[in-house]
Structure 1
Amino acid sequence: MPIKILWVDDEIDLLKPHILFLEKKGYETATCNNATDALEILENENFDAILIDENMPGLSGLEALPKIKEIRPNVPVIMVTKSEEEHIMEDAIGKHIADYLIKPVNPNQVLLSLKKLLDSSKIISEKTVINYQQEFRNIAMDMMNARDYEDWQEIYKKLVYWELELENIEDTGLVDIIENQKKDANAAFFKFIERNYQDWLFDEDDAPILSYNVFKKLVKPHISKEEKVLLIVVDNLRYDQWKTIEPIFNKYYNQEKENLYYSILPSATQYARNALFSGMMPLDIEKKYPEIWLNDTEEGNKNMHEKEFLADQLKRLGMGDISMNYFKILNSDFEKKIADEFNNYKNNDLNVIVYNFIDILSHAKTDNRIIGEIIRDDKTYRSITKHWFENSYLMDIVKKCAQEGIKIVVTTDHGTIFVKEPTKVIGDKESSTNLRYKLGKQLQYDPKDVLAIDQPEKFLLPKVNVTSKYIFAKENLFLTYPKNYNHFVNYYKDTYQHGGISLEEIIIPLVVLTPKK
């Protein structure tokens, strides 16, 4: 179908060459030499766009704009004017014009404006597809040639970039292509972790920053008596989710530094977040705090002592004299309370907020049928995450921090992955229940589907008994017991889980933000 436009100008006869030009380009153009007649035409006929002269005898273009919007509120209007006076432009923009052109207009100017308004999404989509087709091979080559943790960080950044670029393209085949490329990347990344992870624990010089040293290396340098810092730890925040909510923070903050670091194994809250706050690997935490460390199979909350862990780490880092407060937000009522009481803690050298919304959302995807249907895939997961942050009390706190000149560090403890395929595991009744990793003493499994650790202490992990071992699922697999197998698979397939080995779970963001002046 041709694109229909209405051009309203009291000198429309002089614009005949322009109209012929547009018609050759596929734009069916109706004309009118006054705004009053134009309104009557619009009552009876729809158009894709309207061009209107700002200054005409009788009803002017500016005066006609509100009436046009009453009749056709969704049709974009391009104002054509001889005047470059700022107040006229402000008036036109205030009346919701989509674009404006200064006379004398060139036919190509008009065409460009129309393309921008009517064809931009199609043009952008086509260009995006072409660019990804060109980049696809480069990413595949990068995966084949990746040698170190920095290579994998760059690969993951590229995959996330293209996933976000392609998420609004209507061609579902492209979504499948990027998903398959991510799957291939995760298969190669699993082998990379299998080869290198243990060495990283004992050689920091050749290792990425890991959970246990992220505070010392990436957060501590920003804390001082002269500069106040808010550390926000968002449980389960993946890198793609950060890139989705990043523009919300950028309204109030400039990005000083975007880092990626690696979660320890298991990439789960009990291990990774306790390591972050304590500055120690789980085996060392168990040795130093035997009375409060709980293993997977033991009853009780396993993240009750983060504040104490952090206070102890600050002392070891020579920062025991800084003023600090810690909040764990588990519901919106407490979140609002923390926002309302901002003045009570704003003068601390360091404030820490642990924000559990995304973790709660990922569990709701599993346990709540309605949420499960709303969150169908990573795209909808990101969308809900963004909507939540835009309207959260946490963002009220961020705005207040910006006003007070408080630096913010946003990070997480681990990511999460959309699991799709089961792999069977047999274990005794003492085995842990996690879906992406398990701790037990008599585990039977398919060795090609997991990384198995027979001697946990060599990976600085605690064990329940002498023969305990850990297994970590690869790619998007989830670990299932044979008992009630079909029910279990149907219940957990297409849900978000963490604790295993994937780019989404392991490579996670830490971003330093400075307030805009």
Structure 2
Amino acid sequence: MEARILWADDEIDLLKPHILFLEQKGYEIDTINNGADAVEMVDEKHYDIIFLDENMPGLNGLETLAKIKDKNQNVPIIMITKSEEEYIMEEAIGGQISDYLIKPVNPNQILLALKKNLLKKDLVSQKNSHDYQVQFRQIGMRLNDRLDVDEWSEIYQQLVNWEIKLEESSDEGMKEIFAMQKKDANNQFCRFIDDNYANWVNGDEDAPLMSHQLLKERVFSSLGEEPVFLIVIDNLRYDQWMVLKPLIGEFFNVEKEEPFYSILPTATHYARNAIFAGLMPSEIEKRYPKLWLNENDEGGKNLHEEELLAENLKRNNKKIKMSYNKVVKLDFAKKLVERFHDLLQNDLNVIVYNFVDMLSHARTEMEVIKELADDESAYRSLTVSWFNHSPLKEIFKKIAEKGIKTYLTTDHGTIRVENPVKIVGDKYTNTNLRYKVGKNLSYKAKDVIESTNPEAIKLPKENVSSNYVFAKENDFFAYPNNFNYYANYYKDTFQHGGVSLEEIIIPFVELSAK
């Protein structure tokens, strides 16, 4: 049996040819000639889909629709009507119909409506799998070329789009093929970073837009005439932006969507300080020693972002009024919404929202969060759920209502780690799992991207023998002592600080209110 259908129409006898046609196609059909009996039938049987005539005597189609939806919210209902009046369609759509047809209908229209509503997921899955097979070859060929920074951004965006499309697919083999291609892309991207990063941060004309250049190159030119909002969601990957995009699209048009490259390490106290300071970490340390803390210094490493931003504005002759707001607690976010009107007095309002970063850490430490975000798809879904119920959504809504130009970005991304790599360091070595900085570090050079001269990549050098090493792809560092315990504990957690497409290529978006 293809599916069980309930068809309610006061002229059901005239539809006998349609019924026979569908029965020959394998569908089981119950017919009824009024809305009240249709509601009772829904109580008695499970139906995969319901055809509902809009113009029935007694309980009409719209009233029947409402009563059926009260009993079964999820059953697809196709409204069939003689009328094309707008208010009927608005009420039907508001009542959550899945589709509608205008009389007279022919059997093929009915069959098409059934396939569209009952088999949509399978049909989309099949088409996505077929289309990806074609793209797989093209992406694979491009990965063998010498790609530049823009081409790598384009490849990564393609991979993100396919990952989201394929997540609903029932074709597990195709998902495995995609995972292998993404791993291959990450492997080659790590080589690309290793070969070029030092040149980029020292002025190479082929360098991408990077963290320390972002505000000067993309935001400062908009300051001074009207208020501007800059919203920085910590640790927001490109795929998370893609699933938030339709939600933010309720209030804003996306004027420009541009990937940029996070600096190394892809960790908050390096990348976000660089964004606000407009300088690389070693330059911040030299120019503003009181505003920079190294790995072994006590205290929070991101406590001076507001001061660094103020200095950045001053260096660029931006004499404006600005506010800086870092949201780490729900109460503060709610208060920010309440005092939104006060923010309109500023030329620039910066809001740093820390939820996504806290989510990745919580997933490591709390089993219940790990279950909720079991894989990449669930991690994206949890991001959507958070945004839909967060004060940040209300902030976006209020900004849009005032028609204010807004920029959305992040400081770095994150990657789900799988493969432990052994490293040895002294007690002063930092604890991050994706990068290590210290002296006398011991590791296999083939397993990491290393910098024995931090000054060459504009990172602070705490002592003469300090060097940095970065984990590649989905690796993470673990010490030989109690190796198996920590390898198992941190495997399948989201981490950042190293080198991968997910951590480095991140979104910068310009929004205009609808």
Give TM-score, length-normalised by structure 2. 0.95
Unaligned 5+ runs, structure 2: none
For residue 21 of structure 2, what is the aligned residue in structure 1? 21
For residue 274 of structure 2, what is the aligned residue in structure 1? 275
State the superposition RMSD in angstroms. 1.9
Q: 1:187 corresponds to which letter in structure 2?
A: N
For residue 215 of structure 1, what is the aligned residue in structure 2? 215
Unaligned 5+ runs, structure 1: none
For residue 310 of structure 1, what is the aligned residue in structure 2? 309
- Cα contact 2:129–2:171 (8 A) shared by 1: no
Q: Does 1:290 align with 2:316?
A: no
Paired with 2:60 and 2:402, the residues of 1 have a C-alpha distance of 48
Q: Give the 3-state SS of the residue equivalent to 2:144 in structure 1.
A: helix
CA offsets, 1:274-301, max 9 Å, x none? 1111111111111112233221122211
Q: Give the 3-state SS of the residue equivalent to 2:485 in structure 1.
A: helix
For residue 419 of structure 1, what is the aligned residue in structure 2? 417
Q: Does 1:227 align with 2:226?
A: yes
Equivalences for residues 245-284 of structure 1 within 5 A: 245-284=244-283
Q: CA deviation at 1:108?
A: 1.5
Equivalences for residues 62-461 of structure 1 within 5 A: 62-69=62-69, 73-223=73-223, 225-319=224-318, 321-461=319-459
Paired with 1:467 and 1:264, the residues of 2 have a C-alpha distance of 22
Q: 2:189 corresponds to which letter in structure 1?
A: F
Q: Give the 3-state SS of the residue equivalent to 2:52 in structure 1.
A: strand
Paired with 1:71 and 1:295, the residues of 2 have a C-alpha distance of 61
How many residues of Structure 1 are paired with residues of Structure 2 in the alignment?
514
Single out whichever of 19-28 and 154-163 deviates more from structure 2: 19-28
Single out whichever of 329-338 and 97-106 deviates more from structure 2: 97-106
Single out whichever of 104-113 and 38-47 deviates more from structure 2: 38-47
Q: CA deviation at 1:63?
A: 4.6
Q: 1:459 corresponds to which letter in structure 2?
A: I
Paired with 1:511 and 1:92, the residues of 2 have a C-alpha distance of 36
Cα 1:107/1:312, change in 2 over 3 Å: same
Q: 2:168 corresponds to which letter in structure 1?
A: N
Q: Give the 3-state SS of the residue equivalent to 1:444 in structure 2.
A: coil
> Percent of counterpart pairs with the same letter?
55
Paired with 2:331 and 2:103, the residues of 1 have a C-alpha distance of 57
Single out whichever of 110-119 and 268-277 deviates more from structure 2: 110-119
Paired with 1:280 and 1:126, the residues of 2 have a C-alpha distance of 48
- Cα contact 1:51–1:79 (8 A) shared by 2: yes
CA offsets, 1:308-352, max 9 Å, x none? 111111111110x11101011111111111111111222211011
Q: Give the 3-state SS of the residue equivalent to 2:141 in structure 1.
A: helix
Q: Does 1:488 align with 2:486?
A: yes
Single out whichever of 425-434 and 84-93 deviates more from structure 2: 84-93
For residue 2 of structure 1, what is the aligned residue in structure 2? 2
Cα 1:236/1:13, change in 2 over 3 Å: same
Q: CA deviation at 1:408?
A: 1.1
Paired with 2:246 and 2:226, the residues of 1 have a C-alpha distance of 24
Paired with 2:51 and 2:439, the residues of 1 have a C-alpha distance of 75
Paired with 1:82 and 1:456, the residues of 2 have a C-alpha distance of 74
Q: 1:120 corresponds to which letter in structure 2?
A: K
Q: Give the 3-state SS of the residue equivalent to 2:100 in structure 1.
A: strand
Single out whichever of 394-403 and 506-515 deviates more from structure 2: 394-403
Paired with 2:79 and 2:485, the residues of 1 have a C-alpha distance of 62
CA offsets, 1:206-246, max 9 Å, x none? 110111111111121222x2221111111111111111111
Q: 2:24 corresponds to which letter in structure 1?
A: K
Paired with 1:144 and 1:128, the residues of 2 have a C-alpha distance of 24
Paired with 1:128 and 1:140, the residues of 2 have a C-alpha distance of 17
- Cα contact 1:146–1:152 (8 A) shared by 2: no
Single out whichever of 92-101 and 267-276 deviates more from structure 2: 92-101
CA offsets, 1:352-400, max 9 Å, x none? 1111111111111122222223222221211111111111112211111
